[in-house]
Structure 1
């Protein structure tokens, strides 16, 4: 591996959570995915959901859909599954859903340290995160009544209203459209949602854009991503070049927002560093 990878591995070994270390070993050192599942269990609650800061922008032990989403994303990344974890997670989502939709968070976070942007807007059920969660359950091939209800909600929201304006909601919708089985129905929505993406306020098509935002690499994080074709190769290469340059002297990647604590900052840096390695490796930017 080149120095980019070696420096990132040193950072992950020194600063990342056990979960990201186990996932790194599975992805890059052929370790069994059982270690990832074992680490995930530490964040699971008796209600089947996940909490305990699995998504580190709130230091809240209670189960929240935001944490469930990180758990499902981790299983997808590790290319593994666990029926008991998935059944519990889907059951939790069903218990907090309103007409199939779930919210990112809940007022319980107000009793704990949290990032400034996590306020009462996150208590409203919507496409963010319902669409992304449903898409992940399709990706994991896990059928459940909540997935069916969430799918009905997502189709109704997409077909009977304008596309979402928030770039994060658009990302969630693309996760749904990538994996929902009804391809004809999904394909009809892609052009509309993609057009909205290009004008979203926090979408950074220019790799030199300042401040926090999502980039083409969030929508096409791997070379075989379904949505790679939404962007030109020049655009993707510009963001890959920028991603390489962004590596810090300690080997990790920086954040563009303020987590609620020093531990949360390190947790997030481990997550974004591992994602940077995955993306760079997939696009052939890491030498082996």
Structure 2
């Protein structure tokens, strides 16, 4: 109970409106329409999302990274707004390559404060984020011409081989979750080869973990990991709660406000993960 109560206090005190509305929907029975209302504040006239919805860049312009976060928030809240999703897909189509691939960001971020890792590598179209966006649209059950075109591009790219880094693989698994005949042995064997993959729960460094790949007991990807691995990362998640009730991050956002915003994001995510895995009491 103390874990939840102190986490709730952190969210109420320090998190953004969108995380507070999401928390209320996930844990307090609030209508998910409030989450959509909060997301609309980050929407641009072009249909995309920006304004630092993903806090590592303070750019108001639309980026695919912000669109992805908007989709994630909707999925977590269990809500879907066809106007918001359709507008975002139209925007994605407008900035995609002729084959349908999109990049995380673009040079528009350069005029605004941003984390050091938000640089020109994020301007290159790739499976991260194209595959993840397609997978999230599949989860939302939303059809769009861009989704279909981008899905074909993803299949062609994956025919060349799996991604080399943890984030690319995370985005790819969002996509493969909705594809037939997935080779689980191939993925299991590939995981140790990934950069930014943190298999060991005792490793304090930045990385994508088994719990990120398979966040719920019902996840298709749970069978890639042992229960001991999952339990280790759940124990680590419990241990990583800070004295102020929130969870810390292991990278440097562009400033103190962005750091606090991202801590709100990861705190709601941590509480949700612990609840879904039966490690959190909210009574």
Give the shorter-chain TM-score range. Answer: over 0.9
Where does residue 157 of structure 1 map in the other structure? 157
- The within-5 A match list for 1:202-241 is 202-241=196-235
Distance 2:204 2:13 in 1: 29
Distance 1:111 1:61 in 2: 10
* Aligned residues of 1:163 and 1:192 also touching (Cα < 8 A): no
- The within-5 A match list for 1:105-254 is 105-159=105-159, 161-180=160-179, 183-184=180-181, 187-188=182-183, 190-254=184-248
Q: TM-score, normalised by structure 1?
A: 0.96
Distance 1:118 1:197 in 2: 25
Structure 1, unpaired ranges of 5+: none
Where does residue 255 of structure 1 map in the other structure? 249
Residues 233-282 of structure 1: CA distance to partner in whole angstroms, max 9, x if unpaired?
11100111111000000000000000001111011000100010011001
* Alignment RMSD: 0.9
Distance 2:204 2:245 in 1: 22
Superposition misfits of 4+ residues, deviation over 3 angstroms: none
1:17 CA displacement? 0.3
In the alignment, is residue 4 of structure 1 matched against residue 3 of structure 2?
yes
* Aligned residues of 1:48 and 1:92 also touching (Cα < 8 A): yes
1:179 CA displacement? 2.4
* Aligned residues of 2:165 and 2:197 also touching (Cα < 8 A): no
Q: TM-score, normalised by structure 2?
A: 0.97
1:220 CA displacement? 1.1
1:198 CA displacement? 2.2
Distance 1:203 1:105 in 2: 22
1:156 CA displacement? 0.2
* Aligned residues of 1:170 and 1:193 also touching (Cα < 8 A): no
Where does residue 69 of structure 1 map in the other structure? 68
Aligned residues: 281
3-state SS of paired residue (2:193): coil
Structure 2, unpaired ranges of 5+: none
Distance 1:5 1:122 in 2: 35
1:218 CA displacement? 0.5
1:177 CA displacement? 0.7
In the alignment, is residue 46 of structure 1 matched against residue 40 of structure 2?
no
1:226 CA displacement? 1.6
